Structure 1
Amino acid sequence: MTALSEQVEGHDGLAPLFDRVVALLGTAASVTVLCHVQPDADTIGSGLGLALVLRRRGIPVVVSFAEPAEIPASMRSLPGIELVVPPAQVPERTDLLLTVDCGSVGRLGALRDRLAGAGTTVVLDHHRSNTRFGDINLVDADAEATASVIARLLDAWGEPIDRAVAHCLFAGLVTDTGSFRWVRPGTHSLAERLLDTGIDGALITRTLMDSHPFAWLPMLSRVLGSAQLVPEARDGAGLVYAAVRYADVGALRSEEIESVVDIVRTTTEAEVAAVFKELTADGHWTVSLRSRETVDVAEVATALGGGGHRFSAGYTADGPLPDVVAALRSALG
């Protein structure tokens, strides 16, 4: 199949693609929904929200992600969580395969091999740096979250968003907007629509973003103590970075580790913030980037093999920390 992507730039030019995906959903005999590795609430919430509707229509569906081995604890109360299966239980063949919030095939990890056994692959995403690796690529770079793309897809399908689906979509919306700090016209309207189903937005937000075990506090102390300010980076715009070493992680959940960048990014003397996370003992790093106003960190991350948004992006790297930091500084220019 020849890959089909948006032919018109911007949010409003995507209607034909929504219609095409709706047609595929309506005739699919089986569906696999794949989320990205180290999943956040947008990929899991988007995947489950769509999967709940598919199950409601009687269409066999499974949801999965490659790693880590377990779903993050903060997301285990999401409706439809029973639809998430381990990677080994993902069928090798399926009529329709949907990826949600995955900017590149690499974000599928070990499950990238399931693309070969799909009758049709559809990429559903909002990352501007998306590599368009599907047969159909429904990528709305103007959307604030993939959850917003799913809401629009369900509207095009004529499927109602009930309380369970709204819970999942709100999880993606509130986290990807940083509790509605980064919004666009229509964001609050969608939030109000989801809340009108009766979900408890405050509880969902607190569970996902404001609940940490005590061990998070000493970890923060160690990690923030490693922070370095490089005021000359990016022609004086400034870089601040910190490192989460493998020894710092212990039994902490992935969401505790991911939360560090939102603290580091508050540094006023730096346009760009980075957190290097050594999640395995062999010097394999995941790197989270944030910027304030002037630097497009998606371009930086893409140059280093990753991707993301203008103000929020990431990539992976291997090697000693000084080398990984040097590579970022070089990419920043």
Structure 2
Amino acid sequence: MTDALAAVAAALDGAPRVAVYCHVRPDADTLGSGLALARVLRARGAEVSVSHPGPDLPSGIDGLAGADGFSAPIDAEVAVAVDCASAERLAGLEDSFRAHPVRVVIDHHATNGGFGTVDLIDAAANSTTELVLAVIDALGAELDAETADCLYAGLVTDTGSFRWASPAGHRMAARLLDAGAHGRELTRELLDSHPRAWFPMVAAVLGSATAVPEAFGGRGAVYAVCRAVDRGPLGWDAAESLIDLLRTADDCEVAALFKESDGGEWSASLRARTDVDVSALARGFGGGGHRLAAGYSAIGTAEDVVAAFLART
């Protein structure tokens, strides 16, 4: 970790141009990481672009400094991928990232085997923003309130509002709040604000919840399906938080939520309550993540996607 951190700092220190890449279907951790790193590097005189392969940004992000400045990647000496568990998570920007001579990967997913010329990967980190803060410190850069906001956004969302944060996560939160992060406001915007159209979607999705008691050796699984029609006028990110409602089922070790995009593809979110390694299951479908929280993509009908999942349980 110390050597990797030093290598990342060395790659970024003095780089005149840096292209920062966030992952497809971006969340607050990848976006907060990218925006925070860009702010620090720009303050040090670098030209920096921050890019994501789409689709549109999730709700609650527009209050972060720089959220209106995403662009195509610039030609740069250094490229940085933040919170990308694999190169495939860069989607249409993967070739652009790989074209750079120096490629830095900063990530906290346990399934990330490294795809940069310099990799900073720590599965024990609460969020990728935690690692970005370590890079900021290694560069000797200042931490202002706007940068603290970006870092806090990734931390509060990836820890489920600190429900599964480590002591280091709580210490980081205290530091960010001391630096001026608007913790209460960010939490409300990112986790506790929904349009009224969200409620009928929740009713439809949770109404489809089905328990499979015999799954995972009798420890049980519960799954639900969110079809595109269930979202109605809502965006692709509207159902993201529903997996954490499913995971509260006290008689099922694993929860799975299958979300249909407008194009007919599916995104599966997996969560375990105690000790089942859902990242291993996700890797079997070409995905990845953490031991207790993982995901993957799939194509087919809802019935096909669910059946394929149940066949692995």
Q: How high is the TM-score relative to the length of structure 2?
A: 0.97
2:33 matched residue in structure 1? 46
Alpha-carbon distance in structure 2 between the residues aligned to 1:281 and 1:162: 40
Corresponding residue pairs, total: 313
1:37 matched residue in structure 2? 24
Q: Tell me if the contact between 1:304 and 1:331 (Cα under 8 Å) persists in the aligned partners.
A: no
Query: Gaps (5+ residues) in structure 1?
Result: 1-13
Pick one of 200, 207, 210 that aligns with 1:218.
Answer: 200
1:120 matched residue in structure 2? 102
Q: For 1:219-251, what per-residue CA distance to the aligned partner results, in whole angstroms no more than 9, with x for missing partners?
A: 111111111110100111111000010111222
Measured after TM superposition, the shift of residue 157 of structure 1 is 1.1
Matched, 1:175 2:157: yes
Q: Tell me if the contact between 1:61 and 1:83 (Cα under 8 Å) persists in the aligned partners.
A: no
Alpha-carbon distance in structure 2 between the residues aligned to 1:273 and 1:109: 26
Q: Tell me if the contact between 2:16 and 2:45 (Cα under 8 Å) persists in the aligned partners.
A: no
Q: Is the deviation greater in 269-278 or in 182-191?
A: 182-191
Measured after TM superposition, the shift of residue 280 of structure 1 is 2.4
**Structure 1 residue ranges (4+ consecutive) displaced by more than 4 angstroms after TM superposition:** none
Alpha-carbon distance in structure 2 between the residues aligned to 1:66 and 1:79: 20
2:272 matched residue in structure 1? 291
Residue 13 of structure 2 aligns to a residue in which SS?
A: helix
Matched, 1:144 2:111: no
Matching of residues 1-333 of structure 1 within 5 Å: 14-68=1-55, 70-85=56-71, 89-91=72-74, 93-282=75-264, 284-332=265-313
Measured after TM superposition, the shift of residue 262 of structure 1 is 1.2
Q: Tell me if the contact between 1:239 and 1:271 (Cα under 8 Å) persists in the aligned partners.
A: yes
Alpha-carbon distance in structure 1 between the residues aligned to 2:233 and 2:120: 37
Residue 257 of structure 1 aligns to a residue in which SS?
A: coil
Alpha-carbon distance in structure 2 between the residues aligned to 1:163 and 1:19: 25
The letter for the 2-side match of 1:45 is G
How big is the alpha-carbon RMSD for the aligned residues of Structure 1 and Structure 2?
1.2
Residue 102 of structure 2 aligns to a residue in which SS?
A: strand
Alpha-carbon distance in structure 1 between the residues aligned to 2:130 and 2:233: 33
The letter for the 2-side match of 1:292 is R
The letter for the 2-side match of 1:276 is F
Query: Gaps (5+ residues) in structure 2?
Result: none
Q: How high is the TM-score relative to the length of structure 1?
A: 0.91
